Amino acid sequence: MAKYIYLNGELVAPEDAKISVLDHGVLYGDGVFEGIRAYNGRVFRLDQHLHRLYDSAHVIHMQIPLSVAEMEQAVVETVRANALRDCYIRLVVTRGPGDLGLDPRRCPRPTVIIIADSIELYPQRYYDEGLHVITCATRRNSPEALDPSIKSLNYLNNIMAKIETVQAGVPEGIMLSSEGYVAECTGDNIFVVQHGEVLTPPMSVGNLAGITAQVTMEILREMDIPVAAENFRILTAYTADEVFLTGTAAEIAPVVQVDGRKIGDGKPGEITRKIHERFHQITQIEGTPVYG
């Protein structure tokens, strides 16, 4: 458990990290967040995560009360205060306390929260043996209604799909767009491998442009493996040679079964394994130093 949590400029004990019940992050899910990782004493791709955070805040007309440089320092100080070298960082900016109405102008100052702690989204056996996933009945929010580039606190769409995976006894689920195209999973991006080529859904279908997904595409190009962002349906996943998921918490997770259908030979694929190995190499040497 975290020893200290950053809350509005102060590092406080978890039991003292309290916000108002009138905070619009609590009342309406009004706010933005980022999940970030630190490896070997370095915060991985912090600049990209902060860029996405501030872009999301700008889109919803929310002025974060710290500059990007100040926020970077706050993240580093929070990790350092908890004496961590490898950890998960949750950076949250809510609209702040206001009244019971929706009007964001009633919230004069956003609330900034940074939590650094250990995380294990999936046990090691899932990386060794692969995940079984389902296709969720809950459809992904339409980008025409809510732009997927906004990483907002309102995660109910994903939570409803996650409930389906819990009830099905599997760790993840694939969400489709309203048109029936594969969009993303409840908390991860998805990639499929067919005949030596890799596909991932485009943002236009309703998925988030994941940081780990971007690193994955960089690795694929480095390996001279063709990769494209294109629309595809669940049948493409069923008949793929490999399927894998990417995310800050999940990293690179192999999928060996979708809706009861075996993927490839039913074992984590070779391309997935190579990407995972290269990803870990990169995370050990790249990032914003925490300890000087």
Whether residue 26 sits in one domain with residue 49: yes
For residue 160, what pLDDT is reported?
A: 98
Q: Please name the residue that has the structure tokens 């916000």.
A: 19
Domain boundary among 117, 150, 170: 117
Are 258 and 231 in contact, with CB atoms under 8 Å apart? no
Domain assignment present for residue 274? The answer is yes
Going across the sheet that includes 288-289, the strands are 10-12, 5-7, 111-117, 87-94, 31-39, 42-43, 288-289
Domain assignment present for residue 290? The answer is no
Domain boundary among 98, 117, 136: 117
Domain assignment present for residue 167? The answer is yes
Whether residue 234 sits in one domain with residue 145: yes
CATH of the domain at 41: 3.30.470.10
Whether residue 218 sits in one domain with residue 94: no
For residue 68, what pLDDT is reported?
A: 98
| Alpha helix stretches (DSSP H) within the chain | 24-28, 46-59, 68-81, 124-129, 156-168, 211-222, 234-238, 270-285
Structure tokens at 289: 């130093």
Q: Pairing state of beta strands 182-185 and 288-289?
A: unpaired
Q: 3, 18, 151, 162: which one is catalytic?
A: 151
Domain encompassing residue 94: 5-117
d(CA 37, CA 85): 10
Domain assignment present for residue 231? The answer is yes
Whether residue 157 sits in one domain with residue 280: yes
Structure tokens at 153: 């606190």
d(CA 218, CA 223): 9
For residue 170, what pLDDT is reported?
A: 98
Domain assignment present for residue 199? The answer is yes
Q: Please name the residue that has the structure tokens 């732009």.
A: 147
For residue 119, what pLDDT is reported?
A: 83
Distance (Å) of CA 58 to CA 15, 23, 111, 280: 31, 19, 15, 32
Identify whether 151 is a catalytic site residue.
yes
Are 122 and 165 in contact, with CB atoms under 8 Å apart? no
For residue 98, what pLDDT is reported?
A: 97
Whether residue 112 sits in one domain with residue 135: no
Structure tokens at 94: 């809510």
Domain assignment present for residue 84? The answer is yes
Whether residue 65 sits in one domain with residue 22: yes
Choose among 87, 15, 6: nearest CA to 46: 87
Count of domains for the chain: 2
Domain assignment present for residue 289? The answer is no
Whether residue 159 sits in one domain with residue 103: no
Whether residue 199 sits in one domain with residue 92: no
Choose among 18, 10, 150: nearest CA to 77: 10
Choose among 286, 290, 285, 236: nearest CA to 261: 236
Q: What is the pTM of this model?
A: 0.95
Whether residue 190 sits in one domain with residue 260: yes
Domain boundary among 63, 84, 117: 117
Domain assignment present for residue 291? The answer is no
For residue 148, what pLDDT is reported?
A: 83
Whether residue 130 sits in one domain with residue 103: no
For residue 1, what pLDDT is reported?
A: 83
Tens-digit pLDDT profile for the chain (292 aa)? 889 999 999 999 999 999 999 999 999 999 999 999 999 999 999 999 999 999 999 999 999 999 999 999 999 999 999 999 999 999 999 999 999 999 999 999 999 999 999 888 799 999 999 999 999 999 999 998 888 889 999 999 999 999 999 999 999 999 999 999 999 999 999 999 999 999 999 999 999 899 999 999 999 999 999 999 999 999 999 999 999 999 999 999 999 999 999 999 999 999 999 999 999 999 999 999 999 7
CATH of the domain at 133: 3.20.10.10
Whether residue 166 sits in one domain with residue 32: no
Whether residue 202 sits in one domain with residue 101: no
